[in-house]
Amino acid sequence: MVTMKDVARRAGFSVATVSAVVNNVPIVSPEAKRKILKAIEELQYRPNHIARSLKGSKTRSIAVLVRDITNPFYPGMVFGLEDYCWKHHYQVILANTENDPQRENMHIDELISRRVDAVVIGTALTNRNPYYDKLREHGIPYLFINRRPPQLHPNEYYVGANNKLAGEIAVRHLYVRGYRSIAFITGPAEYSTSLERYDGFISGMRKLRLPVEDSWVLKGDNTMDAGYDLTLRLIRSGQRPEALFCSNDLMAFGAYLALAEIGLEVPRDIALMGIDNNPNGLLIGLTSVDIRNYDMGRAAGELIVRWLEKGQGPDKTVSRLRPRLVERRSVRANAGTEPEICEWSGVGQVPIVKRSQTV
């Protein structure tokens, strides 16, 4: 087994200097660091993090809690987090909770026992899990990503998208394209993201003086099945809005299948729009609002690593990424209504990715 002494011998430096490079301590000259990293690569040296954690206070590991790793949203977010952490010599540990509080609590206990350096929580509900306090009691920094509890306690931080703005961007885009009657499928009320996107939908409709039909606001659960079932119910009730806006792309996929089953063509008969910019949206040409899950994960990684290295939390309690509109073929100019120019201070100029671009 290759040791730090072997690396020091190969590179021609002391063990202390090699240790400084391995632990990312900025006291080594660039040239010395280059030679040591070369020796590490040649010898395929791997630090013993368990032994180091027993001697010191760091394991150089960061855990991330997610609800359901099969949801296409999470891999991009975790990739962004891992990408940043890896480049700064931290390993990311993934814990999948399936939205089960008991399973989440067991993961937290295990992560505490493993002495992880920090935890990124992507599972928060509007009904706060009191188990998060155990992390604080053990001195483990943590922050929330994507979803957040209603209130942040002292030394708690959040990184996510501006979901209310995402809802407003979607409504404004449909309005500019000439659509006036818009139905909305919202997500679960226990997710902060769902509540914020619903607020954005309502805010956007009111700013544009568009009517909000109670029967056209449907409560979903962020799954394809919900999008499918609720769309069938809406159309078979004899109501057909000009556009259907879904709180996430998975429900929009289900809605697309339901519309096809009924014989309605998107966008000829009805426009369809979602939020998330799920990569699978390319298959059906789904217009969506990108909440930048990779950038979100990377931003969380940057904040948590800086916190660990500097010993103090981020300057901002809440950090929100600005969403961007991704235009594809599921929304077109409505032949029945002349498109209008639409601006308001809450949205302003929205970054747009044209349908010809790769996303």
Query: Could you please report the per-residue DSSP string of 249-275?
Result: HHHHHHHHHHHHHHTPPTTTT-EEEEE
**CA distance readout (Å), 169 to 61, 131, 156, 235, 323:** 37, 36, 29, 25, 8
Please name the fold of domain 163-291+323-353: Rossmann fold (3.40.50)
Six-digit token pair at 53? 């954690």
pLDDT for res 359 = 30
Q: Please, how many CA atoms are within 13 Å of residue 103, restricted to the half-sphere of its CB?
A: 11
* Residue pLDDT, tens place only, 259-269: 999 999 999 99
In sequence order, what DSSP letters do the residues of 42-89 get, joined into one string? HHT----HHHHHHHSS---EEEEEES-TTSTHHHHHHHHHHHHHHHTT
CB atoms within 10 A of CB 48: 12
pLDDT for res 191 = 96
Q: Identical fold at 4-47 and 61-162+293-321?
A: no
- What is the DSSP-derived secondary structure letter of residue 146? S
Q: Give the pLDDT mean for 282-307.
A: 97
**pLDDT tier at 335, thresholds 50, 70, 90:** low
pTM: 0.81
Better-scored residue on pLDDT, 50 or 22: 22
User: With pLDDT > 90 as the criterion, what percentage of the chain qualifies?
Assistant: 73
Residue 79 buriedness (CB in 10 A; 0-12 / 13-18 / 19+): middle
227 neighbors 255 (Cβ within 8 angstroms): yes
**Domain spanning 4-47 has what CATH number?**
1.10.260.40
* Residue pLDDT, tens place only, 138-147: 999 999 999 9
pLDDT at 234 over 90: yes
Measured CA to CA, the distance from residue 275 to residue 38 in angstroms comes to 45
* Residue pLDDT, tens place only, 79-118: 999 999 999 999 999 999 988 889 999 999 999 988 999 9
Residue extents of the structural domains in the chain: 4-47, 61-162+293-321, 163-291+323-353
Q: Which CATH class is domain 61-162+293-321?
A: alpha beta
Better-scored residue on pLDDT, 333 or 129: 129
pLDDT for res 358 = 33
pLDDT for res 61 = 95
* Residue pLDDT, tens place only, 23-47: 777 788 988 889 998 998 888 887 6
- What is the DSSP-derived secondary structure letter of residue 153? P
Residue 26 Cα to chain centre, angstroms: 31
Cα four-point dihedral sign 157, 161, 162, 167 = negative
In sequence order, what DSSP letters do the residues of 285-328 get, joined into one string? T-EEEE--HHHHHHHHHHHHHHHHHHSS--S-SEEEEPPEEE--
- The mean pLDDT value of the chain amounts to 89
Which region among 150-154, 240-244, 261-265, 340-344 has the lowest average model confidence (pLDDT)? 340-344
Which region among 62-66, 173-177, 200-204, 314-318 has the lowest average model confidence (pLDDT)? 314-318
List the one residue out of 325, 314, 324, 334 whose CA is nearest residue 158: 314
